[in-house]
Amino acid sequence: MYFNSKGKEEVTYDAIVIGSGMSGGWAAKELSEKGMKTLVLERGRDLKHGQYPTANLDKWDVPNAGRLSEEEMKDYQKQGRTGYTVTQFTKDLWVKDPEHPYSETKRFDWIRGYHVGGRSLLWGRQSYRWSEIDFTANAKEGIAVDWPIRYADIEPWYDYVESYIGISGEALGLKQLPDSKFQPAMELNCIEKHTQEKIAKAYNDRILTVGRVAHITKQGGHNGRGTCQYRNRCVRGCPHGAYFSANASTLPAAEKTGNMTMRTHSVVHSIIYDDKTQKATGVRVIDAQTMETHEFYAKVIFLNASALNSAWVLMNSTSERFPTGMGNDSGELGHNVMDHHFQVGARAEHEGFQDMYYKGRRPNGIYVPRFRNIDKATRQKNYLRGYGYQGGGGRQAWWRPAEAAKYGAAFKTELAQPGNWTMSLHGFGECLPYHENKMTLDNSKKDKWGLPTINMDVEWKTNEREMRKDMKISAAEMLEAAGMKNVKEFENPCFPGLGIHEMGTARMGRDPKTSVLNRWNQIHAVKNVFVTDGACMTSAGNQNPSLTYMALTARAANYAVEQVKKDNL
Amino acid sequence: MGSSALMFGCKTDAGDGWKPAFLDTDQVNLIAELAETIIPKTDTPGAKDALVHRFIDSQLAGYMTKEDKTSFVEGLQGIDELSKSIGGKGFVDADEGLRTQVMDALVKDADDHYAAKKQGPPTFDALVGLVKNAFFNSEVAAKEVMRYDPSPGEYIGCYPLEKVGALWSE
C-alpha cells in the first residue's frame, strides 16, 4: 500500500491523538489546553454533544417497544451477545459486525461503537479508584511483571480528573478502594438500605454502598454540564451532559482552545518510524469513506484507539527495527489480554416494605467493595485477587406473573401496581494476566480497507473459576443475612470481552525486555509514542477501569508536554 | 407519533385509516376482543384503548420468527374453534359468559400442558405474554394506567407508594 503518492496531504502538528473516546478525549483536552496543535484521528463518524436523536423517545415512539427483529439482529450477531445493549434506541451506536469482523479461536465478545466519543457515550459510568493493593499485586505474588507506578503516582491525577468530570459517591475510607473527590451520593432505596444495615451487622469486613458514578449530582463548575435528571436513558447520549462523555466534556474543552483539529472517518494504518532518530514521525491514515491514503506528522503521538485497536496499530507498524510491531522488543505486544468476569452472584425477594416505593429512575446501582485477599485475615486458599459486587434492588413490574387472577380486571389491577421487592448482587472479578491470552493479526482475513483483522484467543482459567465459586456463595450469604426469601445463586455464560473492559495488550513495566511501555506510558523504545488506554494495563484489578485510563492519560500528557518543552522528544 | 385513546364500539378502531399489515379483519377483531378480555377497560383504559391489536399485528408483520407467527395464527384459530365447540359461537360473537368459559378452558389447557411437560409455552401463556407486552409498553398504559414521569429531576430512594398510586412506567 503506497502512502507517498497521489491524494496525499502533508500536514504537521505538535501532537496526534489516535482515538477520540474515553482516554483519547482526555489526551486531546490536555494537549490542546497546554498549547499543542493537536490532530485527533477518529475512525468513525462525527457525533457532537446534543446529537442524540433517541434521547427523549419513549417505547411507543420506536418500533416493537425497542426490541430489534431477528432480521435486524443479523447485523449485530456479536454486539448482541450482551443481551441488552442493542435496542431500537441505540442500534446506530454499536458497530455492525459484518463491517468490522474479527475472528475467535476462543469465544471473545468484542463490544464497541465507532463514532466520536466511542464508548464514553455508551459506558456504565461506574468509576472506582485503584489502590496500592492493586498496583503491588503482581510483584507480591510473582505474577506477570510489576507495575512501574504506585498509587502515589496516580493519586493526584485521580484528584485532577475527578474534580473535572464529577464523580458521585459515598466516602468510606477503605484501603482497598480509595475515596474519590465526591459529588453528593445518590440515594439507596428501601431494600438496599435494609440490605446495607443487615450486611453491616453480620460482617465486619463487608460494606454495601451506592455505586460511584461519573454523574454530576450538584450544580456548579463542570463547564456548564447539567445535573443528572434521573431518566436512566444515558446510553443514548444525555442532552444535559450530566454523565461524563468525551462528547459532553473533554472534546468541547479541547475544541475551545482552538488547538484541536478533529478528523473523522480516519482509520489509522500504522505509525511511521524513523530509524535515525529512533522516534515516530507521524501516522498513516486511510480515509474510511474515500479509501484515500494520507500521512500526518507530529512530535508526539498518543495512541488511544482502545486496547485491541491500539495494539493492532502497533502490530501493523512494522519496520526493520520492529519486525513484529512497533515497540515489541519484549514479545508482549498483543499478549496478556484481560477483562472482568461477571454474570455470577445471587438474587432474592422480600415481602416487606409493601407501602414503600421510589421516585425517579436512578442510573446507578449498589456497590460492595472487594473484601477478599486484601490482607492476611482475608486471604483465600483457592484464588488470588478479588471482586466487587454491583446490582441493586427494586420492585417487580408488570412482567411478573400475577397471583390474584389469570386474566381480567383483577389481573390488570394487580399488574398495574408494583410487585414484591427484589435484590440482586452481581460480582465483577479480576482476571490474571496470562501471556497465552492473546490477540494476533490475521492477514488471511482482511477487512474492507484491506487491513488484517484481529483474532482473539483468550480464556478464563483456574483462578477465575475458583473466584467465581466464592462470588456466588458470598452473594447468597449476604442476601440470607438480610433476611431475604427465595435466595438463588446464579451463573450465566460469561466469556472474555463481555465485561467490555478488555485490556492488557501493550503493558507497562520496568523492563523493556518484558513490557511495552514505561512508567510514563511511553513505548520503551519509541519515547514519543504514548499509549494510555486499556492496552497499557499490567494487571486488571476488579474496579471498572475507565477512571484509571483518564488519570493515566492526564498524567502522561502532562509529562509529554514537559518533555517537549525540555526538547527531549 | 403517539396514539390517542379510542372509543369505538366493540369492533376495532376506524377513522385514522389504520390497516393491518399481517392479520385479516376477522383476526384483528378476534385478537382485539381476546386482548380486551385479558386486560379489560375498567376505571382505567384497557387493551382496545391501548391499541394492543395494532402492536401485535406489527409484531407479526416484522418482529416475529416464522415459527412464532405460525403458532400464533394457529392458536387464534384454535381459540375461535374452542368457543364454537363450547357455545356454538365464535369468540367475537360470544357473550361474557361464553368468553369466560373459553378463557377458563384455555387456563386449564395450560395447566395440563405443564403437567404433561410439553415443549414450548401453552397457547394461553403465549397469548397473555404478547398482550401484556403490548399493553404495558403502550403510551395509553404508561400515561393512564401507570405513572409516567419522563424527566423526574431527582431520585428519592424511599418514597411512599401512596404518593405514586401505581407502577412507574419505565
Domain coverage including residue A287: 1-130+244-332+434-458+503-569
Which of B64, B107, B155 is the closest to A359 by Cβ? B155
CA of A225, closest CA in chain B: separation in Å?
15
Which of B39, B153, B160 is the closest to A356 by Cβ? B160
Mean pLDDT by groups of 10 residues along chain B of 170 residues: 39 75 97 98 98 98 95 96 97 97 97 94 96 98 98 98 97
Residues of B in contact with A59 (CB under 8 A): 137, 142
Substitution target in B56, B167, B169, B170 with the highest count of A β-carbons within 10 Å is B167
Q: Do B166 and A361 touch (CB under 8 A)?
A: no
Query: What is residue B69's DSSP assignment?
Result: H
Q: How far apart are CA A152 and CA B162, in angstroms?
A: 51
Q: How far apart are CA A233 and CA A122, in angstroms?
A: 10
Q: Do A412 and B44 touch (CB under 8 A)?
A: yes
B119 in contact with A at a CB cutoff of 8 Å?
A: no
The answer to whether the beta carbons of residues A267 and A119 sit under 8 Å apart is no
B101 in contact with A at a CB cutoff of 8 Å?
A: no
Substitution target in B155, B156, B170 with the highest count of A β-carbons within 10 Å is B155
Flag whether B13 is in a domain: no
Q: Is residue A251 classed as helix, strand or coil in its secondary structure? A: helix
* DSSP states along A319-333: -SS-TTSTTGGGS-T
b/e A540-550 (16+ beta carbons within 10 angstroms → b): bbbbbbbbbbb
ipTM > 0.85 (yes/no): yes
Residue of A190, A138, A490, A544 lying closest to A347 (CA atoms)? A490
Q: Do B167 and A399 touch (CB under 8 A)?
A: no
Per-residue confidence (pLDDT) for residue A8, from 0 to 100: 42
Flag whether B151 is in a domain: yes
Per-residue confidence (pLDDT) for residue B13, from 0 to 100: 62
pTM of the model: 0.96
Flag whether A182 is in a domain: no
Flag whether A10 is in a domain: yes
Per-residue confidence (pLDDT) for residue B5, from 0 to 100: 39
Q: What is the pLDDT along chain A (569 residues), one digit of tens a residue?
A: 556 544 444 589 999 999 999 999 999 999 999 999 999 999 999 999 999 999 999 999 999 999 999 999 999 999 999 998 999 999 999 999 999 999 999 999 999 999 999 999 999 999 999 999 999 999 999 999 999 999 999 999 999 999 999 999 999 999 999 999 999 999 999 999 999 999 999 999 999 999 999 999 999 889 999 999 999 999 999 999 999 999 999 999 999 999 999 999 999 999 999 999 999 999 999 999 999 999 999 999 999 999 999 999 999 999 999 999 999 999 999 999 999 999 999 999 999 999 999 999 999 999 999 999 999 999 999 999 999 999 999 999 999 999 999 999 999 999 999 999 999 999 999 999 999 999 999 999 999 999 999 999 999 999 999 999 999 999 999 999 999 999 999 999 999 999 999 999 999 999 999 999 999 999 999 999 999 999 999 999 999 999 999 999 999 999 999 999 999 88
| Total domains present in chain B | 1
Flag whether B150 is in a domain: yes
Which of B150, B152, B167 is the closest to A397 by Cβ? B167
Around Cβ A171, how many Cβ atoms within 10 Å? Answer: 13
Flag whether A138 is in a domain: no
Around Cβ A17, how many Cβ atoms within 10 Å? Answer: 37
Flag whether A98 is in a domain: yes
Flag whether A196 is in a domain: no
Q: Would residue A442 be called left, alpha or beta, if left means φ above 0 and alpha means ψ between -120 and 50 degrees?
A: beta
**CB proximity under 8 Å: A 49-108 to B:** 56, 58-61, 63-65, 67, 69-71
A219 in contact with B at a CB cutoff of 8 Å?
A: no
- State the count of interchain CB pairs (< 8 A) between A and B: 142
Q: How far apart are CA A224 and CA A220, in angstroms?
A: 8
Domain coverage including residue B73: 25-163
Flag whether A193 is in a domain: no
Flag whether B36 is in a domain: yes
Flag whether A403 is in a domain: no
Per-residue confidence (pLDDT) for residue A569, from 0 to 100: 86
Residue for cell digits 451463573?
A: A491
Chain A residue closest in CA terms to B141: A416
CA of A388, closest CA in chain B: separation in Å?
22
Q: How far apart are CA A28 and CA A42, in angstroms?
A: 12
Which of A60, A190, A358 is the closest to B139 by Cβ? A60
Quote the cell numbers at residue A442.
490475521
Flag whether A259 is in a domain: yes
B170 CB burial (10 A radius; 0-12, 13-18, 19+): middle
| Total domains present in chain A | 1
Domain harbouring A326, CATH code? 3.50.50.60
